[in-house]
Every structure is written in C-alpha cells, then in structure tokens.
Amino acid sequence: MSWKDRERGYHHGNLRQALIEAARALIGEKGPAGFTFAEAARAAGVSAAAPYRHFRDRDALMADVAAQGFERFEAALAKAWNEGKPEPMIAFHHLGRAYLHFARTEHAYYSAMFESGLSPDATPELRAASDRAFGVLRGAAETLCAQLPAGKRPPVLMVSLHIWAISHGVASLFGRGDSGRRKLPMDADELLESAVLVYLNGLGLGRA
C-alpha cells in the first residue's frame, strides 16, 4: 500500500494521533532530538507533506506528544494520590512511587515532557496539561501542610516545588526506563521515600 493510499484511509483525526504515536515511538528509540519531521511521517506511513495538515512543524508535533504525556501523568498521579486515602502520608508516598513508575514505563513520554527543550508555553494545551499534572502534587502538599498548626505551615507552593525537584531528580537519574538510568545500591523507590521523609520531617510534616 502506498503512502497516498494510507493517507486516504485515515479518517478525520486519526492522522494526527498516528503521527503522535509515531513520534513517541521514535523518541523512545532515538531520544527527543534524534528524528526529523519527515521520519515521523514515514513511521506513520504517510507522505512527508501529510503532517502539515495538523502540525506547523516538528516542535508542534513534539508539543502534542508532551501534552498527551502530561495528561497520562496527571491520571497516574491522581490515581495514586486517591484524594489522600487511606491516610495522607501513605497516599503521598504512593504519589512518589507513581512518579517513578511513569518515568520507568513511559520514558518516551517522559523525555518529550522534560527533555525535549520545548518551552512549557509552547502551546496552550501543553501548558494546561502540565499545570494540571503539577496541580495533583500541589493539592497533595496542601493536604499535608494543613495538618500543621496555622502559624507553622510552610508555603504550599514551596513544598510542592521542593518535592517535585526531589522526585524528578531521583526519577531522571535512577528511575528512568532507558539506557540513561544510573545504578543504585538500593531501589529507586526506597531512595525517593527516604529523601521525602527527611524533607518532611525537617518541616515537621513527617510527624504530623
């Protein structure tokens, strides 16, 4: 079947998703900077001109891959947090494990989201998706901070950013699912949990 025949076989909207899936596969194989717009078209089985029906350029395609990744990331974090059940501290550690699990099992999305060099404001959709994902972490931090007396509560945004930095550092160095993963004498989940506990204890949250 020729590329033109395959293009005619796509229904409205399917070509866009096919290109996103092709780009995601190429990112997993070559990294976010390792393929061209034409290669993504070829991997999707369409002509080099076909992607321009949906995307201005390669960066626009990458932004859609990243936005879709953040949507999945948000869903994974929200499921792990489970509105703070059965207990906020336990749920918070589940959140950390979900972060690592996503980096390990969805490394192509993870690379597009955090390693592509795209601005978070590349598209409104990307900004909105990334903000919603961070919103899960911020909501969890707010729940933990609320357990402290009002006069001793640290700024929620500060706590959220610190926890994000810790989680992202462990995930990027030791929890990823590609060849960039560094070896540890312990499990990455254990490293993250102990680091978060040390941080929360320092704020008085670990004892809350």
Q: Are residues 86 and 41 in the same domain?
A: no
Predicted confidence at residue 7, as pLDDT, reads 46
Q: Are residues 42 and 68 in the same domain?
A: no
What are the pLDDT tens digits along the chain (208 aa)? 444 545 444 544 588 899 999 999 999 999 988 888 889 999 988 888 888 888 989 999 999 999 999 999 999 999 999 999 999 999 999 999 999 999 999 999 999 999 999 999 999 999 999 999 999 999 999 999 999 998 889 999 999 999 999 999 999 999 877 777 788 888 899 999 999 999 999 988 865 4
Q: Are residues 40 and 141 in the same domain?
A: no
The domain boundary residue, chosen from 33, 55, 77: 55
Tokens (6 digits) for 109: 């999305």
Residues 79-106: b if buried by 16+ CB within 10 A, e if exposed: ebbeebeeebbebbbbbbbbbbbbbbeb
Q: How far is it, in rounded angstroms, from Cα 98 to Cα 157?
A: 20
Q: Are residues 118 and 186 in the same domain?
A: yes
The H-or-E segment that residue 178 falls in is none
pLDDT tens-place string over residues 63-117: 999 999 999 999 999 999 999 999 999 999 999 999 999 999 999 999 999 999 9
Position 208 in a domain: no
Q: Are residues 43 and 83 in the same domain?
A: no
Query: 70: closest CA among 138, 127, 142, 140?
Result: 127
Neighbours of 5 (CB within 10 A): 9
Q: Are residues 37 and 63 in the same domain?
A: no
Tokens (6 digits) for 30: 């070559």
Q: Are residues 28 and 112 in the same domain?
A: no
Total domains present in the chain? 2
